[in-house]
């Protein structure tokens, strides 16, 4: 029976472009034995029995799936499995087939899209959810890697929290309205979701296996949103209840639990079939019918180039997902660089370039106290950040690490600029809760702490219990000229300076003639600035003071200024390394980036200040900046109003076909009107008054 849009008396649903298909009831598990046997006997199948049960248990058409997985020779190439070339080998996936949404399928709670935002165990403000680490599952008996991931989660409440976090972030990433939701309600899901198998091991020792989306997470969340009326909290609750079940239980899912879920799916399928027989397609029929099933492909095998089991499914997954949808892996530069460096560290661990303890610290799996227990470096996250830099820049395998980075990111040359940009999100990962983290990442990515003393030269991190005592020891050795201590102090002090806002990304707009926030006497790239500071006694003491104040985290302890050159001030000779005293005899504190830039090269700073003052005397400089600012803000005002008028006109044209709701809620419209009124009041109160010499033409009046 054809469906006319007029048959739907519901203004909240988009026009129906395709009726849901009638779906059969889920087949009892006892009738899936033939399908299960066919998949197990496929020569490239790399799953264990529990995983095979999950693959076969949620299928809508078992006979069709069996035809896909049956081997037609000694290799899957002669069968109907999909061959997916990836880095290091090949993935094999079951071809597109229909699956029930409620049966063992979860969103991508691994959350690689937001990997650069997740708080690590090293952070002082840990994440509300546990950080997820996933690896290739290795069979306990044979020792061979499987085509599955293993994820360790505290308990089922923690798993539910990860699922909620994934779905909510996906929802908010689209402006709180998932882009696929209306499409699902209009025509269902057309493009298949790519699914991977994940073995979840809870702290109590129990294990459960699920299918998790690799590509298609937005479509997956949209289906639950479509089913629950667009409410993200309701969608999360429905997904958790249907797939995970009770989050308070401490035992693995029992056959009884799975039968209850299958019974609920059977009832839904029956409701949809009955609804399709009605003369009018109801809202419930549309929501359940279009979200009851979805097309998918499932990865069931993974082989290396020599036909042995693929050892690194993580890299293979990332490669496959990126090739399916270009926007899946490279969400942002931060996400790309974080994922890439995680893979670099994993390769380094497998190649024994770093120890297991170092690997755990780099991934943020342990906190400061555990880092001290394992590595004996001070238990503070500043040392965790320094460890990233030491491993990549100066560790025993620094040359190999450089090669791994070039291979991972496709670099012809891995110079300091490229290395710092790609390392920044991981090196500063212990500080993701910091308000200034984005600014610090920009500074670190602009050369960072990679000075001549740090880059490709051997240095190490000093061990010790008390971080403040360790900093004092490092300074003492650095003052004596020890290279390793100078490099270490450069890294610790430089990183702290970026995190605390004393070093920011180089920009020409910083130039000024007066000491103030956001200004500098001359342009200074971070690593060049740090090189100059570390070359003087006073600079080393300033770096020590910055790191000391950062670690102490005490408002009464502020970083101090020191002279970085021998010079005469008011007839008194001061030498490199002496405190910079004010007129009261107290040591001046470092307040602005200006202070570090000036100290890094006083001669160039004086020249820069003189040049800026000359500009101002010549009518440029600060005066031009002020003039440019009013022009810039006036342009912003004009452009904003012009765009607002255009948007209002466009929405008004949509009202006849889409109703007044295109403007949003009544409260939202009132807020916009209040803002426009406020702008009008400001223009009347502060704008220039009209004179009698000027007349508004009719067009201007119409615009008003």
SS3 2: coil
For tokens 């909240």, the residue is 12
Question: What is the model's pLDDT at position 671?
Answer: 80
DSSP 8-state code for residue 636 = H
How much is the average pLDDT of 519-538?
93
Confidence of residue 661 (pLDDT cuts 50, 70, 90): confident
Question: What is the model's pLDDT at position 331?
Answer: 60
Candidate ranges 447-456, 612-621, 624-633, 669-678; pick with highest mean pLDDT: 447-456
Question: What is the model's pLDDT at position 656?
Answer: 82
464 is written with which tokens? 């010790």
Confidence of residue 693 (pLDDT cuts 50, 70, 90): very low
Q: Give pLDDT tens digits for 202-236.
A: 999 999 999 999 888 889 999 999 999 989 999 99
Q: Give pLDDT tens digits for 249-262.
A: 888 888 888 889 99
Question: What is the model's pLDDT at position 130?
Answer: 64
B/e letters for 97-127, b = 16+ CB within 10 Å, e = fewer, are bbbbbbbbbbbbbbbbbbbbbbbbbbbeeeb
Question: What is the model's pLDDT at position 356?
Answer: 93
- Which of 77-86, 122-131, 366-375 is least confident? 122-131
Q: Give pLDDT tens digits for 176-194.
A: 566 788 889 999 999 999 9
Cα–Cα distance measured from residue 566 to residue 207, given in angstroms and rounded to the nearest whole number = 68
Q: Is the pLDDT of residue 698 over 50?
A: no
Cα–Cα distance measured from residue 536 to residue 695, given in angstroms and rounded to the nearest whole number = 67
Cα–Cα distance measured from residue 163 to residue 184, given in angstroms and rounded to the nearest whole number = 21
Question: What is the model's pLDDT at position 315?
Answer: 83
Q: What one-character-per-residue DSSP string does 397-460 give?
A: THHHHHHHHHHHHT-S---HHHHHHHHHHHHTGGGTT-TTHHHHHHHHTTTTT--TTTTTS---
556 is written with which tokens? 């009464």
Cβ pair 458, 484 in contact under 8 A: yes
Q: Give pLDDT tens digits for 554-582.
A: 988 999 999 998 888 777 888 999 999 88
Residue of 217, 210, 229, 168 lying closest to 191 (CA atoms): 217
How much is the average pLDDT of 119-130?
79
Cα–Cα distance measured from residue 308 to residue 50, given in angstroms and rounded to the nearest whole number = 22
Residue 175 burial (10 A CB sphere; 0-12, 13-18, 19+) = exposed
Rounded to the nearest 10 degrees, how much is the dihedral formed by the CA atoms of 481, 482, 483, 488?
-110
444 Cβ contact list (under 8 Å, min separation 6) = 420, 423, 424, 427, 428, 495, 498, 526
How much is the average pLDDT of 465-472?
97
- Which of 109-123, 225-239, 319-333, 394-408 is least confident? 319-333
Q: Is the pLDDT of residue 1 over 70?
A: no
Question: What is the model's pLDDT at position 131?
Answer: 64
Question: What is the model's pLDDT at position 169?
Answer: 86
Residue of 291, 264, 319, 346 lying closest to 86 (CA atoms): 319
């Amino acid at each position: 029976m054809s469906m006319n849009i007029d048959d739907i008396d519901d203004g909240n649903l988009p026009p129906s472009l395709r009726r849901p298909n009638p779906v059969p009831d889920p087949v009892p598990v006892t009738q899936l034995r033939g399908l299960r046997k066919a998949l197990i006997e496929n020569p490239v199948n790399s799953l264990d029995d529990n995983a095979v049960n999950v693959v076969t248990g949620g299928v809508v058409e078992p006979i069709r799936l069996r035809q896909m997985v049956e081997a037609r020779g000694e290799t899957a190439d002669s069968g109907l499995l999909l061959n997916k070339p990836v880095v290091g080998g090949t993935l094999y996936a079951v071809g597109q087939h229909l699956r029930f949404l409620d049966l063992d399928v979860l969103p991508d709670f691994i959350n690689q899209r937001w990997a650069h935002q997740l708080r690590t165990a090293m952070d002082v403000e840990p994440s509300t959810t546990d950080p997820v680490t996933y690896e290739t599952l290795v069979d306990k008996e044979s020792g061979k890697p499987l085509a599955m991931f293993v994820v360790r989660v505290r308990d089922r409440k923690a798993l539910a929290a990860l699922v909620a976090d994934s779905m909510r972030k996906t929802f908010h990433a689209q402006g709180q309205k998932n882009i696929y939701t209306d499409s699902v309600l209009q025509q269902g899901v057309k493009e298949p979701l790519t699914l991977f198998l994940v073995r979840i091991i809870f702290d109590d020792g129990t294990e459960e296996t699920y299918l998790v989306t690799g590509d298609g997470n937005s479509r997956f969340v949209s289906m639950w949103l479509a089913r629950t009326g667009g409410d993200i909290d309701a969608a999360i609750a429905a997904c958790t209840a249907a797939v995970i079940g009770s989050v308070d239980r401490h035992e693995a899912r029992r056959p009884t639990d799975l039968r209850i879920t299958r019974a609920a799916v059977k009832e839904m399928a029956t409701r949809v079939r009955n609804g399709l027989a009605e003369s009018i397609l109801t809202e419930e029929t549309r929501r359940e019918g279009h979200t009851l099933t979805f097309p998918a492909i499932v990865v069931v095998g993974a082989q290396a180039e020599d036909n042995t089991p693929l050892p690194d499914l993580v890299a293979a997954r990332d490669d496959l997902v990126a090739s399916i949808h270009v926007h899946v892996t490279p969400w942002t530069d931060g996400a790309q660089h974080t994922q890439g460096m995680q893979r670099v560290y994993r390769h380094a661990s497998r190649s024994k370039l770093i120890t297991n303890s170092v690997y755990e610290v780099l991934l943020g799996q342990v906190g400061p106290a555990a880092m001290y227990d394992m590595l004996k470096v001070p238990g503070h996250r500043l040392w965790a950040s320094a460890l990233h830099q030491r491993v990549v820049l100066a560790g025993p395998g620094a040359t190999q690490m450089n090669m791994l980075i070039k291979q991972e990111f496709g670099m012809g040359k891995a110079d300091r600029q490229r290395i710092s940009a790609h390392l920044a999100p991981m090196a500063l990962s212990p500080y993701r809760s910091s308000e200034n983290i984005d600014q610090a990442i920009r500074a670190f990515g602009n050369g960072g702490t990679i000075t001549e003393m740090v880059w490709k030269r051997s240095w190490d991190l000093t061990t010790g219990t008390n971080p403040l005592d360790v900093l004092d020891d490092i300074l003492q050795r650095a003052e004596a000229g020890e290279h390793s201590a100078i490099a270490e102090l450069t890294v610790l002090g430089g990183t702290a300076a970026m995190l605390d806002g004393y070093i920011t990304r180089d920009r020409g707009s910083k130039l000024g003639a007066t000491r103030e926030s956001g200004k500098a006497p001359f342009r200074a790239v971070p690593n060049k600035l740090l090189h100059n500071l570390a070359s003087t006694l006073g600079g080393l003491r300033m770096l020590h003071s910055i790191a000391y104040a950062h670690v102490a985290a005490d408002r009464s302890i502020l970083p101090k200024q020191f002279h970085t050159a021998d010079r005469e001030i008011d007839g008194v000779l001061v030498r490199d390394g002496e405190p910079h005293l004010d007129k009261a005899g107290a040591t001046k504190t470092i307040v602005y980036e200006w202070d570090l830039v000036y100290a890094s090269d006083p001669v160039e700073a004086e020249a820069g200040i003189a040049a800026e003052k000359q500009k101002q005397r010549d009518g440029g400089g600060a005066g031009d900046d002020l003039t440019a600012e009013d022009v810039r803000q006036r342009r912003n005002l004009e452009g904003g109003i012009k765009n607002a008028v255009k948007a209002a006109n466009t929405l008004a044209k949509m009202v006849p076909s889409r109703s007044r709701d295109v403007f949003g809620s009544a409260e939202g419209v009132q807020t916009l009107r209040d803002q426009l009124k406020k702008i009008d009041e400001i223009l009347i109160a502060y704008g220039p008054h009209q004179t009698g010499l000027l007349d508004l033409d009719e067009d201007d009046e119409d615009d008003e």
